[in-house]
Amino acid sequence: MKSQPDLSFENAYDGIICGVDVVGRGPMAGPLVAAAVVLDQAAIPEGIRDSKALTKKRLGVIAPLIREVAAFGIGSVSAAELDAIGLTAANDLAMVRAVAALPVRPTLALTDGKRVPKGMPCSVQAIIKGDAKSLSIAAASIVAKVHRDAIMRDLALVHPGYGWETNAGYPTLAHRNALKTLGITREHRRSFAPVARYYINKID
């Protein structure tokens, strides 16, 4: 595998190419968020990597740079929607919404993973470990990650005690313990097993 993402996939096609990635599949609370990014190859910020390989500080620096020079769209699926349609369908829907939110109509979407999402409004190439191979997908992962983290910090003010400002809704020990004492909120994913155990507890 390449040590860092590049434009090999993007340059293999003609037209407008966007990278799409989804974050927030594993948390017990909060939305699933996808970003779609069309990079300007003449103005690509340095340091774009898979968001999981970057510190919060670096993410906070690079995400605004990407949003300044690239076309981007954000798509989200709420916890309630995810519970209603399931994680796989919610993953696809978040991507579809992100691409639909782009200010330009892409010719092709490069997506991270091995399956092609359903309902996309353009052609798709799914790339296994795409966020480590494609600069566009890596940029999308950064934009989506920073956007979702900001949402979770805001939700932490509405629903204090779960630690979302630091754990982003993931099932940390502190978050699981908070479910026992505080119950679940409307932002929790009731279809996820750790949350379902406390479904009958207090609902804010």
Residue 50, pLDDT score: 87
CA–CA distance, 161 with 29 (Å, rounded to integer): 13
Q: Are 148 and 168 in contact (CB under 8 A)?
A: yes
Residue 203, pLDDT score: 45
Residue 199, pLDDT score: 67
Amino acid symbol at 151: I
CA distances from 184 to 74, 139, 200 (A): 27, 33, 8
Residue 198, pLDDT score: 77
- What's the pTM? 0.93
Q: Which fold has domain 10-157?
A: Nucleotidyltransferase; domain 5 (3.30.420)
Q: Are 144 and 67 in contact (CB under 8 A)?
A: no
* Encoded tokens for 8: 């090999």
Q: Would you kindly state where each structural domain of the chain is located, as residue ranges?
A: 10-157
Residue 177, pLDDT score: 94
- For the chain, which residues score pLDDT lower than 70? 1-3, 199-204
Residue 24, pLDDT score: 97
Q: Provide the CA 8 distance to its chain's centre, in angstroms.
A: 23
Residue 197, pLDDT score: 81
Residue 3, pLDDT score: 65
H or E segment to which residue 108 belongs: strand 108-112
Three-class SS state of 179: helix
